[in-house]
Structure 1
């Protein structure tokens, strides 16, 4: 669970819109160059083992914030039932977000590995780990560990349901953040992301543009989806939406700075 000490460290540049944490991609942000980040939690996305930040960089960042590394349990190096050398090399001060793993970052052999037994094995001794629910919602909930969900139109309803059923653990929500109302800027930043959501993909023509060049019905579909799957608008609008998420039982909102980290640090 998020501790009171961790919650107290939310004061910082990202607090103006109410975020608890930041999700960073090592191919976009030089983790090794970060001395600190003004957020209670930082999650580091997995984009292949060649992009995994160095252990000393993670440890340094963990001195001032709660750092969690996304680790796909089917991938060599993070497989608790096989090669777990990369997991073993993570600093003790760095937490985990256990995920099935995006197929784009897995080999053909890795994609065939069973997820459920690997999640169970990975959680042994990792009491504070979160489990990413993307594509494995039932398995993730069955673990009893903290949940890490992607923001969607069903988020509030789903969180209310698990809270009503008695789940008392963390429910963290990941969302791209774009602090603007400009439609072209929104589509350039998160159009491709929302277009990959299954319901949106079904509604779009196969050859539809997903950036600012989108027109007609495709543009309208994408802009509606942006509101569903991302936190966008001015600071007040984003903050209000985050508060509504908290009101149903979300414990942490982790934002991916879709237009770059500097845009959320106010520099």
Structure 2
């Protein structure tokens, strides 16, 4: 499953799952732009760090123009950037609502709107949107986050139809991770982690590599007849 000659863009690529995705794609031969607000630590020379905010439309436009001038294409877009600002609806501030919507939903729109014309021009591409299991079944205290992750699933379905309507081989899919071992979950109380594991049929938490492998599959030609789908990588949590 090689990606030699492919140009990939990964948002939220400096750390956590995003960094593992960058490493996986680069390991398979892609030139990967890791777009984030902070610098990541990579040893693979195929990974290029870019300081980019997915809410900065001007910055995104300039970035895409630079990549186009250098390579003439972008083959893979992984919309992975995301934040949380959790609270019950009674306590959720408008600022918390707007911040999560701007990054997790509008950020996906911003990046895709800027990059998809290049894919359509080249008549091929794979867009991979990061959703979540909570976008499927909801969660207490995450009104804003759930709204974005459900919205991402809707965008994925709409774009799968829109971007292929003239025969272009531009595919759009989503991944809905379950409970994954990340720096964010590492500090959770043991009781909370045990509850997560008990709810998961495979009785364990996932690894970032599990998500990166799903991204690799959707980025590669092995998935060339798959579009508009949301793939749960959750140990069977949502069945």
Fold agreement, TM-score > 0.5: no
Bigger-Rg structure (1/2): 1
Report the TM-score when normalising by structure 1: 0.34
Question: How high is the TM-score relative to the length of structure 2?
Answer: 0.37
